[in-house]
Amino acid sequence: MSASEFYDRATATTEFLEHGLGANLSDVASGVATTAFQSDEADERERRSSALYAAGTIMERAAWLAIGNWIGYFESARVASDGEREFFQEYADAIPPESLPDVLRDVRNYLANREESSDADFLRNFNGGFRLKEPMVAWYPCFQAMLTVSEMLSGAAITTFFRFLQNGDEGIFKEYEPKPEAVMDALRAEGDPDYVFINRRSQESVLAGFIRYTEYLSAMDGLFPLVQATDLNTDPSEIPARIVDRDLLLILQSQVRWRYPSDEYVFDRFSAVLFAFVRLAQRQFDSHRSLAVQWQADRTVAEILNFSQRFFFPFTPHNTEEGQADPQDADARRARVIAMDKRIQEIRAEEDGQQFLTR
């Protein structure tokens, strides 16, 4: 009897689809699309932006299901409802495959296909270049933690923030001073299904979403702590499997990156929100000097940018003052890539051995 036989995939799949991240993403897609198309205030550009966000959310939910099925964590299930597929197909042409992480391309192409096809066949052939013959039971705890942490991305406030990155006007933050009380109200409004759309132009709701975003980054850093090159022998043969497996799982997290648009203005929008948050925080610390809290804005900005780069990759790599990448960091990255390739070969060899032993 293998360890995987003690694991109830049916329960995990039901939990994901009906109560967990999968259900949350379905609710976000439905809520964003419905409120946008029912509102008299939204123009055609905003409706299209909302539709694309809803389509991206449908695609991400399907990707989570496919990845979980691939590693043996989920059972086979419906990738999307008939209505979701029809909705996605209407806007699929505005989501070019080349703009997506590798994990999402097969999902996008499958959902965009108007021909009759089987969800079970799609899941069975997912990630065909690297098929797993045995469930990756050792990955389950980390994958489950990824699902739990990623539920933070489906909240009302953080959805407002990501939608601002896709279709916002950074100019609204140049003169307006957000009110701390209104930001707190936005943070408390997570349970209001209409909040995402009603407050879409509110600077306070965008800032509340940015705060939730930083909480997500912090949670991800706890799940995938960065191992410094100075703490790690860069010989790939010396990197522990537990670290390499986390690197492999972090690649699977890339399906959330569709939230960052590929247009040239995304960094301007991101920067506008980031520095509005810094100004708001600085005012609050200055007004409560009696607490003797030490806070450095420049370090906060650096950490947020570093975390954003690690978990979303929207920005170019940081360079040294000479304009060249740090050789030590580059060597460490190369070692980690080599180690991942080696680990994949080990997994394949282990699976071949299992197949041989069970014949």
Is the pLDDT assigned to residue 246 strictly greater than 60? yes
Q: 31 pLDDT exceeds 70?
A: yes
Percent helix, percent strand, percent coil in the chain, to nearest 5: 70, 0, 30
Determine the average pLDDT of the residues in 307-334: 64
Mean pLDDT of 91-115: 89
Residue whose entry in the numeric block shows the structure tokens 């205030």: 41
Lowest mean pLDDT among 54-63, 71-80, 236-245, 311-320: 311-320
Residue 61 has pLDDT above 70, yes or no: yes
**3-class secondary-structure state, position 163:** helix
| CA dist., res. 69 & res. 74, Å (int) | 4
181 with 202: CB under 8 angstroms? no
pTM: 0.86
Contacts of the segment 121-125: beta carbons below 8 A, 24+ positions apart: 122/66, 122/79, 123/65, 123/66, 123/69, 123/70, 123/76, 123/79, 124/76
Predicted pLDDT at 268: 92
64 Cβ contact partners less than 8 Å away, ≥ 6 residues apart: 16, 21, 22, 25, 147, 150, 255
Mean pLDDT for 45-54 is: 87
Q: What angle do the packed helices 21-38 and 82-91 form, to 10 degrees? A: 60
pLDDT per residue over 260-272, tens digit each? 887 888 999 999 9
Share of the chain above pLDDT 70, in %: 82
How does pLDDT run across 142-187, given as a tens digit for each residue? 999 999 999 999 988 899 999 999 888 898 888 778 888 889 888 8
**Which whole number is the average pLDDT over 206-221?**
95
| 72 backbone φψ class: left, alpha, beta (φ>0; ψ -120 to 50) | left
Least confident stretch, 2-11, 75-84, 136-145, 255-264: 2-11
What is the reported pLDDT for 209?
Answer: 93
Phi, psi at 68, each rounded to 5°? -65, -40
Q: Above 60 in pLDDT, residue 320?
A: no
The band of 277, judged by pLDDT with boundaries at 50, 70 and 90, is very high
Average pLDDT value for the chain: 83
Q: Is the pLDDT of residue 84 over 90?
A: yes
> What DSSP designation does 72 have?
T
Tell the burial category of 176 from Cβ atoms under 10 Å away from its Cβ (0-12, 13-18, 19+).
Answer: exposed
pLDDT at 272: 94
285 CB-contact burial (10 Å; exposed 0-12 / middle 13-18 / buried 19+): middle
